Chain A
Amino acid sequence: MKQLITFVKKEFWHVLRDKRTLFVLFGMPIVQVLLFGFALSTEVKNTKIGVLDQDQSQNSIELISKISANQYFDIDQNLKSIDEAENAFKGGKIKMIVVIPAQFAQNLNSGKIAQLQLITDGTDLNMANQIYNFMSNIIQDFYGQKTFQQTFGVQPEIRMLYNPQLKGAPNFVPGVMAFILLIICVLMTAIAIVREKETGTMEILLVSPMKPYIIILAKAIPYFILSMIILVSILILSVTVLDLPIKGSLFLLFGISIIFIITNLLIGIVISIVTDSQQTAMLIALVGTMLPTLMLSGFMFPVENMPLPLQMVGNLIPAKWYYEIVKNIMIKGTGLAVIWKHVLVLFGMMIFLFVIAVKKFKIRLE
């Protein structure tokens, strides 16, 4: 036991001495929380548009001022002819051009159908659809009021559950947690062990009277503690800065986080056992765990839109299950009754990895 403690102390010094890495480790969650919380969004606002008014009538001027009064759109360019349209898009600033054809007013006032063209930059179709819908709503509102009573009929009463202000935070804070824990436990642990192999100091440790499993345990413990500290700081950050309260049981959240951390430490250990160079270890950690987590766990992109094979691969990623568990506990406030299956899967993965680590480890010592 005393051996272990001395050893853990030594490992801790290694970690603490590397100020730059520590800076990145603590900086990363803070920056991610700030960016996701305050900088990024997918909502349409201040979209730059161009206007081509071939009509130059009272009606067209009214319509344009109605559009420019709207907060979603900024009229950035007044085009003279349709030939300028393509060049306007090529500069990349403008996302839509509203074309009011000649005789627009005349058609409108004489009871014919008056056409309007909304040309969008279709390279980003999601964005194009969204701004097309916004713009056509504005125009319909402007002209449509006269025909139909707006208050007539069925009105929806909308309740946004769990996240009434539609903030981004509830979706990404659990993702940031999963991702940072992954980096510390898998990447750093793997590198720390492989580095001893690469520099040759592992040999010295192995011929010492220390039992091999103690060496590995001593390597893992500092990263376990570091993970817990980072986890607590992310939670504090999200509660104070992002106003995201933890609705469910804190005890449960920490219990499951510990399972997740151990699972990832085991992945890191397995990687370190099967590789000999830091670069290979990094590559395996990156391609095998971090990229799949970013892409397939539902944190960046919605899982339900993915093709089935990708969804199935996603199910093999521990972070995906952890991400869903954290969302349930933190945001929805649900307990084991809803998430017991997820917990079971995560636990199963931990046991599985433990068995692999023990088996592989014995082979290496021969």
Chain B
Amino acid sequence: MFRTLLILIKKEFLQIFRNKSILAIIFVMPVIQLVILPLAANYEIKDIKIAVVDHDKSTESRELIRKITASGYFKIIEYGENYNTAYEEIEKDKVDLILEIPNNFEKDLVRENKEKVSLAINAINGTKAGLSASYLAQILQDYNQQVQLKMTPELESAKKISGVEIVPKFWFNENYNYRLSLVPGILAFLVTLIGGYLTALNIVEEKEIGTIEQINVSPIKKRDFILGKLIPFWILSMVAFSIGLLVTIFVYGIQMQGSFLLLYGFISVYLVAILGMGLLASVYSETQQQSMFMVFFFMMIFILMSGLFTPTESMTDWAKYVAYVNPVTYGVDGVRLIMLKNSGFIDLLPHFGFITGLAIVVISWAVLRYHKTS
């Protein structure tokens, strides 16, 4: 009974290896994406470009500026006395923020212990603007304490006694690697993309060029036909995953903390669900264009809502529920947990539970649906 299935799988492989663009998707895409994406996706905020408009030009104002540059977050691009020139630089994107130090800065600080400086921040990128503001506030606080200590040295002893010392510890990431969680996440996203895309296009191609009719009139069982489609793409996706995993380990030096067996077990089940979804898309489309746009549409939602680039915790409440029924959330999270934290099967029970359920639902759906149209 497996003879038909084996023959179908063989036929599928022959077709795949004849098609250069499919091979490119499988072998080139993982490498391109894994090499370029982690380099590009760097949210680390540093070298904030700053223009100082210093109306005071005093020892104190210079000390403040020195403290700002010493922090390492800011790079002074311009130093002058004219706000309008500085503003023009913001308009041209040459500068991210303007620090304006008023006249009599030093005098007021010494006499009244109070002074204001004004910050104008280009806030089109809200996250960056918010962080810049909080970095600067931190520096000003340090600066204030320094000035206060200079004026009332008795505080020095007071500061020492009531101290709470906070010790930061960053676990699971000894080398302070900013790309650590990104790369395994991209790996999961990658197999999703390749698996979903290939399956979605394949059956539709047979519909479009008409060869599906030949299969429909042949004695091939529906079960064999669908399995004959799924198995080759499952194997190819596993190959793509393995290539990606090699890149992750050897190019990015990200060590595998957990068990390979669990990782491959997880990906095997995950891929069944993803291929099933691709299958469903192809059952519902008539042309490759439709099928591709459909996959594209859902893939985009899945990826944005998966916590790959923005954390799921920060989403609004309704969006969190979308994230909880999103297979890619489980895929990205699962690969991260196994690779980075050595999480075990018990930790991943929710992940396994969800994707297994999903796999069963989508594949039975696709099988039922396929029967009606043929």
Show the binding face of A for B, using Cβ within 8 Å: 18, 20-21, 24-25, 27-28, 31-32, 35-36, 38-48, 86-87, 89-92, 95, 108, 111, 113-128, 132-133, 136, 139-140, 143, 146-149, 151-168, 170-171, 183, 188, 191, 195, 277-280, 282-283, 287, 291, 295-296, 300-302, 304-307, 310, 324, 327, 331-332, 334, 338
Contacts and interface: CB of A to CB of B under 8 A. Distances in A.
A114 B165 contact: yes
Given A156-B137, A166-B130, A35 B164 contact: no
B305 A39 contact: yes
A97 B301 CA distance: 32
A279 B205 contact: yes
Interface of B: 19-22, 24-25, 28-29, 32-33, 36-37, 39-44, 46-47, 64, 90-93, 109, 113-130, 133-134, 136-137, 140, 143-145, 147-148, 155, 158-159, 161-173, 176-178, 180-181, 201, 205, 284-285, 287-290, 292-294, 296-297, 300-301, 304-305, 309-311, 313-316, 318-319, 322, 333, 336-337, 340-344, 347
Contacts of B125: 171, 302
Contacts of B109: 153-154
Contacts of B92: 338
Contacts of A86: 171
B42 A327 contact: no
Contacts of B148: 148-149, 152-153
Contact of A43 (B20, B64, B127, B304): B127
Given A143-B164, A287-B32, 4 more contacts: A39-B322, A148-B159, A153-B115, A280-B21
A139 B310 contact: no
Contact of A156 (B119, B205, B315): B119
A161 B143 contact: no
A355 to B, nearest CB: 27
A157 B140 CA distance: 12
Contact of B21 (A90, A91, A277): A277
Nearest to A324: B93
A310 B40 CA distance: 8
A113 B36 CA distance: 47
A143 B342 CA distance: 37
A166 B137 contact: no
B314 A41 contact: yes
B336 to A, nearest CB: 7
A133 B148 CA distance: 23
A24 B297 contact: yes
B125 to A, nearest CB: 5
13 contacts: A20-B290, A24-B294, A25-B293, A31-B297, A32-B300, A36-B304, A113-B165, A114-B165, A122-B173, A157-B118, A279-B288, A280-B21, A295-B36
A327 B122 CA distance: 12
B255 to A, nearest CB: 12
Given A40-B310, A41-B310, A89 B171 contact: yes
Contacts of B287: 18, 195
B316 A38 contact: yes
B140 A306 contact: no
Q: Which of A128, A279, A302 has the most CB of B within 10 A?
A: A279
A161 B140 contact: no
Contacts of B347: 87, 90-92
A157 B117 contact: yes
Contacts of A114: 163-165
Contacts of A35: 301, 304-305, 319
Contacts of A124: 180-181, 311
Contacts of B178: 125-126
A279 B126 contact: no
A350 B181 CA distance: 39
Contacts of B22: 279
A170 B290 contact: no
A21 B169 contact: no
Contacts of A136: 166, 168
B113 A152 contact: yes
